[in-house]
Structure 1
Amino acid sequence: MMGYWWRFFARERASASPAARPTAAVRQPSVSKREESTNGTVTGDEIEERFCRFILNMPDSTSDAAQLAREQSILLRLKEQCDSGRFDVRTLPRMPTVLPQLMRAMKSDKLNGAQLADLIRRDPVLVGEVMRVTGSVAYRTAHPVGSLQHAVVLLGQLGLRHVVSVYVMKPILMASAGASGQIVGQRLWDHAERCAHAAVYLSKGQCDPFEAQLAGLVGYTGLGAVARLLDKELGQALPACSSAFINGCARIATQLSVQAGRHWELPAVVLDALIEHADGDAGRMALPMSRTLHVAQRLAMFQLLSEQGLLDGEAGYADERVTAFPEQLLARCQQDLRQNFAEP
């Protein structure tokens, strides 16, 4: 059943117009594709740095002393704006008020189609998405879908979870980088849907697949906020930046993702995973959700970067948290990502 859903959403992506996928048309960042290690592997830190450079469109540089000093000054100002909850979460895109209630309701087997429809009816945008999906070719039935309740029953809980998470979260992520960040927002979404897909794939026997999917979707939300803050701070993109600067931006982004999760009232297990991720020590991750999220993020980064020609798609992993998962499971998940997301 899960495979059917991802095939359905793959058809949705394939039918999107070129205008809806700006990343294919924009200039790629001039990030040098470094030689992989002599044993054909890349570390988790290398993957994350290349990923953050791609999202923020910041070329690599062996910055001189003056440039490094400027970078440190910028990072200090960003930390002053974000540390200890100083970041104004009201600047984040709005999470539909009904969504936390709906997420809790969908974990219960006691609610019927009519009760779920009553919750969904409180948000006209969500109503429109549910009706649109059930009116698509994939749901063509002998009788037209005549009501929201009928649509909810037709989707079932699994289908409804995907509609809610994907079609509600996408505009939030697309808007997270601000009005001038369309490219950043699209790239964040491209990673988020790959990460959510991998998180669901890896969640079996580890954690709830819907919560894993949600964690995958929101895990790097803070990077969009960092892009917006940099745009405001600098007024223009840096011509190039050091690895230390990229790593500093990534650390700030993980903290902002936690603040966003609290602001959006995400489920506690998802928020706890974001907090462990923000702590920065993958080796000490105790929660199954945290471990699943970490591996899903790395696999999704690997997939997206290889699609963009910024990473050798045949390279292996030198990341203890990733390689702690069964090798065959990682290989199957990576192959599944390629089949669902690699450009034809």
Structure 2
Amino acid sequence: MKGNWWRLFARERAPATPAPRQVAFNRNTPNPIEASHGTVSGDEVEEHFHRFILNLPPSTEDSATPAVEQVLLQRLTELCDSGRFDVRSLPRMPTVLPQLMRAMKSDNLNGAQLANLIRRDPVLVGEVMRVTGSITYRTAHPVGSLQHAVVLLGQIGLRHVVTSYVMKPILMASAGANGQLVGQRLWDHAERSAHAAVFLSKGQCDPFEAYLAGLVGYSGLGAVARLLEKELEMTLTSCSSAFVAGCAQVAMQLTVQVGRHWDLPPPVQDALIEHADSGRHAMALPMSRVLHAAQRLAMHQLLAEHRLVDAEADFSDGSIAQFPSMLLARCQQDLRKNFATQP
């Protein structure tokens, strides 16, 4: 196995992803996007995505931001600006994760070394053994050791187990009392975004770091949802596109703070910073562009699964036009293949 893990990265399949479970929509779920001439713009997709995640009501007819929205957005900005948000209120990412990431990128890797790292986290050991004992990995001989389980999983399978074990609980917990709904939606998008980021990363940036950036790229959104629900006591019956955009911008700035709090790899942090400033500056880093495109495609896929956008409509977005249209189309097809549409 030594030296083969990274070469397997692009070929090996992760454990089968179950079809997304039906999520009960509340009254704030946005109406489906009406595709114009068979196309949907990226801006429409992004706005609908944020309404969907944050449970924001439909847009007002008035294009100007109402006074109540201005007050709420100012308060939200004050709570999160200049490092005022207490990132310690978020779960801490286990130290074993970056260690595992570095180890899994090494060409000198072997199963025994990986197993020794995983042993430092008993819960992670249990997850690895549970997954390899499932029918997906059923073999003629029972899995008798952690090292055997690691070899059986392979890099993509192990990556899937590790990130699911680490990131899903963090995103589920980040959104407060309404976290079961908001957190599940955040996780569903994070999975799809990470998957798309790996697909688009070839020749652009490190695939593993792109995967991590895709997973954490909207981690600040859960905190915004919690603030809107609890601290701001939001009771809006409608809200403008400007308010949604303002919430999204605050969430991106929080994501940067979260990335520092979790001590993510420098390339990932740089991509998060540049992505947060993309409204004012063009994205120069390849990973930033990969992250942005992956997030947009994942948004479209998630909304399509919940019938909030036509899955077959052409996805048009000038901000991701630096990627060949055929590559983006193949990535969309790959997302549909790996993340089943709800019946």
Task: State TM-score, norm by structure 1.
Answer: 0.90
Contact 1:161/1:210 (8 A) holds in 2: no
**C-alpha deviation, 1:28, in angstroms:** 6.2
Contact 2:28/2:58 (8 A) holds in 1: no
State, as a whole percentage, how many aligned pairs show the same letter.
Answer: 71
Q: 2:28 aligned with 1:29, yes or no?
A: yes
After superposition, the Cα gap between the structure-2 partners of 1:256 and 1:36, relative to the gap in structure 1 and judged at 3 Å, is same
Structure 1 gaps, min length 5: none
Structure 2 residue corresponding to 1:290, chosen from 273, 288, 291: 288
**C-alpha deviation, 1:67, in angstroms:** 7.6
SS of the residue aligned with 1:24?
coil
Structure 2 residue corresponding to 1:243, chosen from 222, 241, 244: 241
SS of the residue aligned with 1:180?
helix
| Alpha-carbon distance in structure 2 between the residues aligned to 1:65 and 1:107 | 49
**C-alpha deviation, 1:209, in angstroms:** 1.7
| Alpha-carbon distance in structure 1 between the residues aligned to 2:126 and 2:118 | 10
Structure 2 gaps, min length 5: 1-7
Structure 2 residue corresponding to 1:9, chosen from 9, 16, 38: 16
Deviates more, 1:263-272 or 1:111-120: 111-120
Contact 1:126/1:164 (8 A) holds in 2: yes
**C-alpha deviation, 1:9, in angstroms:** 2.9
| Amino acid of the structure 2 residue aligned with 1:157 | Q
**C-alpha deviation, 1:266, in angstroms:** 1.1
After superposition, the Cα gap between the structure-2 partners of 1:170 and 1:65, relative to the gap in structure 1 and judged at 3 Å, is closer
Q: Which residue of 2 aligns with 1:135?
A: 133
Structure 2 residue corresponding to 1:74, chosen from 72, 78, 99: 72
| Amino acid of the structure 2 residue aligned with 1:50 | H
Bigger fraction of residues in helix: 1
- For residues 200-211 of structure 1, what are the structure 2 equivalents within 5 Å? 200-211=198-209
Deviation sequence 1:36-78 (CA, Å, 0-9, x none): 34x4433322211110001011122326699811111111111
Aligned length: 334
SS of the residue aligned with 2:315?
strand
Q: Which residue of 1 aligns with 2:262?
A: 264
Contact 2:27/2:57 (8 A) holds in 1: no
Contact 2:175/2:183 (8 A) holds in 1: yes
| Alpha-carbon distance in structure 1 between the residues aligned to 2:107 and 2:12 | 22
- For residues 147-296 of structure 1, what are the structure 2 equivalents within 5 Å? 147-281=145-279, 284-296=282-294
| Alpha-carbon distance in structure 2 between the residues aligned to 1:125 and 1:84 | 36
Deviates more, 1:251-260 or 1:299-308: 299-308
| Alpha-carbon distance in structure 2 between the residues aligned to 1:340 and 1:28 | 29
| Alpha-carbon distance in structure 2 between the residues aligned to 1:283 and 1:328 | 27
Deviation sequence 1:157-184 (CA, Å, 0-9, x none): 3332222123321111111112332110
TM-align CA RMSD: 2.3
Contact 1:216/1:293 (8 A) holds in 2: yes
Contact 2:306/2:342 (8 A) holds in 1: no
Contact 1:317/1:323 (8 A) holds in 2: no
After superposition, the Cα gap between the structure-2 partners of 1:211 and 1:113, relative to the gap in structure 1 and judged at 3 Å, is same
- For residues 104-115 of structure 1, what are the structure 2 equivalents within 5 Å? 104-115=102-113
| Alpha-carbon distance in structure 1 between the residues aligned to 2:177 and 2:114 | 34
Higher relative contact order (CA 8 A, sep 6+): 2
Deviation sequence 1:113-171 (CA, Å, 0-9, x none): 22221211111121111111111122222221122122122223333222212332111
Task: State TM-score, norm by structure 2.
Answer: 0.90
Contact 1:93/1:172 (8 A) holds in 2: yes
| Alpha-carbon distance in structure 1 between the residues aligned to 2:280 and 2:297 | 15
After superposition, the Cα gap between the structure-2 partners of 1:66 and 1:208, relative to the gap in structure 1 and judged at 3 Å, is closer
Contact 2:33/2:44 (8 A) holds in 1: no
